[in-house]
Amino acid sequence: MSTLEVHPTAVVDPRAEIAPDVEIGPYTVIEGPVRIGRGTKIWPHAYLAAPLTIGRDCQIHIGAILGHLHQALREPQAGGVRIGDGVIVREYGMVHRASKEGAWTTVGAESLIMGFAHVAHDCAIGRRVVIANGSLLAGHVVVEDQAVLSGHVVVHQFVRVGTLAMVGGLSRVNKDVPPYFLVKGDSEVWTINQVGMKRAGLSEIVRGQLREAFRLLYRSGLNTTQSIKAIQATKDPAPEVQHLIRFIQESRRGICRYHLQMPGEANGLDRDEEDVI
């Protein structure tokens, strides 16, 4: 059986609960009763502060910061961080603690947080989410399963990013991003996330229903309430379509608007995703 490997320069709080096969690199600091699951590797110079739970088979890379004090000036520092199994946090990625006692900033299993990305207090990141280099998530952001945020995306506090949505690089997001859609620029929906849906194994029937939902929402001339009624009238709507409807109905900030077509530019479903991103 593998044994715990702790570099002699690491500073590990005696209250920490660390599985026997964890590897802890040079100059790492583990502060308080941090819990670390089996098979996890902590690279050099990481800083981990309780309340913090890290799952199995995670990789916490050089200079990563998990569980440090959040940056909300008028909120307490009473919450913690939970990292799911198989999560990768790359160089200098940051996940700050939640702001209320008993609350958690969470990162779901198999998610990837790339270098210099920042996940602020009280965020809830789903499973298999990708947050690319330099992206910044403000407090209370929700990112649902399998969503992708490209490089240097900035997300406003309390915004939600839906399942299998994709946000293009350098985008500014201050409205909710509907599931299965593709957003770029200043909170604008361009098309549906065809590539992401195919990779996730969604059938052609489901993708077709979502294409029709996109058309009704953004290209039919109907307002949002009318569009939702039209989508609900679809015969045997797939669970993914029902999720899209619920997501929009539950939105408090409103959903991203449609990108207005420029002269000579492909429109909506005619756009090539590679050209968009």
126 and 46 inside one domain = yes
- Mind listing the pLDDT tens digit for each residue in 51-64? 999 999 999 999 99
Asked if residue 89 belongs to a domain, the reply is: yes
Alpha-helical regions (H) of 66-203 = 194-199
- Annotated active-site residue 102? The verdict is no
Alpha-helical regions (H) of 43-121 = none
* Catalytic-labelled residue, pool 61, 118, 121, 243: 121
* Catalytic-labelled residue, pool 55, 93, 96, 122: 122
124 and 24 inside one domain = yes
Residue 78: the pLDDT is 94
223 and 113 inside one domain = no
- Tell me the residue range of the domain where 266 lies: 201-276
Report the alpha-carbon distance of residue 35 to residue 48 in Å, rounded.
10
- Annotated active-site residue 121? The verdict is yes
Q: What angle do CA 164, 165, 171 make, to 5 degrees?
A: 150
Residue 48: the pLDDT is 99
Structure-token pair, residue 42? 């902590």
Report the alpha-carbon distance of residue 190 to residue 277 in Å, rounded.
10
Domain count, the chain: 2
Report the alpha-carbon distance of residue 238 to residue 260 in Å, rounded.
29
Residue 233: the pLDDT is 95
Asked if residue 178 belongs to a domain, the reply is: no
Report the alpha-carbon distance of residue 156 to residue 133 in Å, rounded.
17
* Catalytic-labelled residue, pool 139, 162, 168, 196: 139
* Direct distance between the N- and C-terminal alpha carbons of the chain, in angstroms, rounded to an integer: 46
Residue 260: the pLDDT is 83
**pLDDT value at 263 more than 70:** no
- Annotated active-site residue 85? The verdict is no
Tell me which of 140, 157, 178 is where a domain ends. Answer: 140
